[in-house]
Amino acid sequence: MTIRMRYFAAAADAAGTREETVELAEGTVADLRTQLLAHHSPEFGATLQICALLVNGTRAADDTPLPSGDVTVDVLPPFAGG
């Protein structure tokens, strides 16, 4: 499957891009995280571990299966508001 990855704030800085396309066989969010860790820097890995992932706009746990078809995953680091 083709996954459109979108990175925000510190995740974009660590990834070195705001957006990329990733190819992945069927799997879970954890499988996607593993593939991302293999293709990016250790700094990105540290950032990814604390990020929330939204699959097609819905927060997803690591054991969430990735849907077939068009998939967009947003990588959101923690933030604080006032």
Domains defined along the chain, listed by start: 2-76 (3.10.20.30)
Rg (CA), the chain: 12
pTM of the model: 0.92
Quote the pLDDT of residue 15.
95
In whole angstroms, what is the distance from residue 15 CA to residue 26 CA? 23
Using pLDDT thresholds of 50, 70 and 90, give the confidence band for residue 79: confident
pLDDT tens digits for range 17-67: 999 999 998 899 999 999 999 999 999 999 999 999 999 999 999 999 999
